[in-house]
C-alpha cells in the first residue's frame, strides 16, 4: 500500500473540569487527509483545501508531527500529505490536533504500524505545540484513541482510555470567530486559589467515576469549571446566555470547548441533545454572529482509514 485516505476527527478538550487533561472525540466533524509514500526522501505538504495554512513542512502542524516521526525512522523514501480541512483553525474543537494526528496515523499505517498510539501521541504533540505554543495532549489523545481520554502525563506520555456512557451525546455550537489557543491561554491566571482547586479536582475525579459507572446525575453535577471559565468566557460573545439556554433545554452540563470559542454541552439521549441544539440555535441566531452547530455521539473509534 502506497497511499491512504484517513478521517481525523474533531475533539472537545478540557470538558469543563479537566483543563489540559480530559477530552472526548466527536464523530460528525473532522478533516480528511491523504498520505502517500514517495521515492523522494522527506515530508512534503502538496495540497491544502478548506483553509489557508502554510505549505512549509516546518510551519505546518501536520508537517511538524510528521517530521517528528520521520526523524525517528530510517527509510529511503518520503511522504506527501494532502489536507482537506473541515475544522476551522481557532474553533476550539481540536483543529490543530486533527492535523497533527492525521499525518502520523497515516504514515504509521503505510509503514506497517511500527508505533503504538502512545508513541503517535508523542510525535503529534510536537505538531500541536506549534499551534498553541505549549505541549499538551488533551485534544490529541481522544483523536487518536477515540472516546474519552485522560492525559495522566505528557513526559512520559501516559494516556488513560475512559468509558463513554452509551446514551451520552454532545451538542457543539461554533461561533464563526477565531480565538487563538495561545491568546486564550494568555488570559488565564498564573495562580489558583486553593478552595477553587479543591472544587475542580473533586469534580474531575467525580466525572471520571461517573463515566465508569454511567452515572448521568453525577456527570451533571461534575461538569463545572470554576477556574478557567470565568476568564475565558469573556472572549466568547454570549457565552453565559448560551450555557444557560443549554441547561434549561435539559443538557447535563455545558462549557467552553477547548480554548473556545466553541461551546459544548453533554446530554443524556439524542432527543435531548437535539432539543439543546434547537435552543442554542435560537439563542445564537439573535446575536448576529454566524455559527455552525452539531450534534454528535461520542466517537469511540477516533482517527480512521476511509
- Shortest distance, position 64 Cβ to ligand HSE, whole Å: 15
Collect all residues with Cβ–Cβ distance below 8 Å to 223 and sequence separation of at least 6.
Answer: 15, 16, 17, 203, 207, 252, 253, 254, 255, 266
Helix (H) or strand (E) segment spanning residue 4:
strand 3-13
Q: Are 211 and 298 contacting, i.e. CB atoms less than 8 angstroms apart?
A: no
Residue 292 in the binding site for ligand HSE (CB under 6 A)? no
For ligand HSE, which stretch binds (CB under 6 A), given 11-19, 107-115, 163-171, 172-180?
11-19
Catalytic hit among 128, 229, 245, 272: 128
Which residues 224-283 are close enough to bind ligand HSE by CB under 6 A? 258-259
Contact with ligand HSE (CB under 6 A) among 103, 132, 149, 203: 132
Residue 127 in the binding site for ligand HSE (CB under 6 A)? no
The Cα 124–Cα 61 span in angstroms is: 8
The Cα 52–Cα 211 span in angstroms is: 38
- Helix count (H) and strand count (E) of the chain? 10, 11
Q: Residue 3: beta bridge partners?
A: 36
Contact with ligand HSE (CB under 6 A) among 4, 10, 12, 13: 13
Q: Residue 49: beta bridge partners?
A: 84
Cell numbers representing residue 137 in the block: 495532549
The Cα 152–Cα 157 span in angstroms is: 8
For ligand HSE, which stretch binds (CB under 6 A), given 14-22, 62-70, 81-89, 118-126?
14-22
- Shortest distance, position 83 Cβ to ligand HSE, whole Å: 19
For ligand HSE, which stretch binds (CB under 6 A), given 72-80, 99-107, 181-189, 283-291?
181-189
Residue 106 in the binding site for ligand HSE (CB under 6 A)? no
Catalytic hit among 181, 229, 245, 272: 181
Task: Examine the residue annotation and report whether 128 is marked as an active-site residue of this protein.
Answer: yes
Task: Examine the residue annotation and report whether 56 is marked as an active-site residue of this protein.
Answer: no
Q: Could you give the residue numbers annotated as active site?
A: 128, 181
Amino acid at each position: 500500500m502506497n497511499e491512504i485516505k484517513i478521517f481525523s476527527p474533531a475533539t472537545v478538550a478540557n470538558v469543563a473540569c479537566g483543563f489540559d487533561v480530559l477530552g472526548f472525540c466527536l464523530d460528525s466533524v473532522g478533516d480528511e487527509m491523504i498520505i502517500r509514500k514517495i521515492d523522494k526522501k522527506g515530508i512534503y505538504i502538496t495540497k491544502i483545501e478548506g483553509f489557508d495554512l502554510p505549505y512549509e513542512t516546518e510551519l505546518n502542524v501536520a508537517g511538524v508531527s510528521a517530521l517528528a516521526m520521520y526523524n525517528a525512522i530510517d527509510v529511503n523514501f518520503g511522504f506527501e500529505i494532502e489536507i482537506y480541512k473541515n475544522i476551522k483553525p481557532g474553533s476550539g474543537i481540536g483543529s490543530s490536533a486533527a492535523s497533527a494526528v492525521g499525518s502520523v496515523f497515516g504514515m504509521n499505517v503505510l509503514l506497517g504500524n511500527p508505533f503504538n498510539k502512545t508513541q503517535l501521541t508523542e510525535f503529534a504533540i510536537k505538531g500541536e505545540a506549534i499551534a498553541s505554543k505549549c505541549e499538551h495532549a488533551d485534544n490529541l489523545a481522544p483523536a487518536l484513541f477515540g472516546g474519552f481520554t485522560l492525559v495522566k502525563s505528557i513526559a512520559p506520555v501516559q494516556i488513560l482510555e475512559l468509558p463513554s456512557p452509551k446514551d451520552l451525546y454532545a451538542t457543539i455550537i461554533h461561533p464563526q470567530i477565531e480565538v487563538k489557543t495561545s491568546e486564550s491561554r494568555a488570559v488565564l491566571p498564573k495562580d489558583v486559589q486553593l478552595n477553587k482547586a479543591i472544587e475542580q479536582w473533586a469534580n474531575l475525579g467525580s466525572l471520571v467515576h461517573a463515566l465508569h459507572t454511567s452515572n448521568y446525575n453525577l456527570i451533571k453535577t461534575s461538569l463545572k469549571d470554576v477556574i478557567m471559565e470565568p476568564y475565558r468566557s469573556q472572549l466568547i460573545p454570549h457565552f453565559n446566555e448560551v450555557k444557560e439556554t443549554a441547561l434549561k433545554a435539559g443538557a447535563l452540563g455545558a462549557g467552553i470547548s477547548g480554548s473556545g470559542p466553541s461551546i459544548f454541552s453533554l446530554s443524556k439521549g439524542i432527543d435531548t441533545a437535539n432539543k439543546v441544539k434547537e435552543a442554542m440555535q435560537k439563542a445564537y441566531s439573535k446575536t448576529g454572529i454566524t455559527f455552525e452547530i452539531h450534534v454528535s455521539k461520542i466517537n469511540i473509534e477516533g482517527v480512521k482509514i476511509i
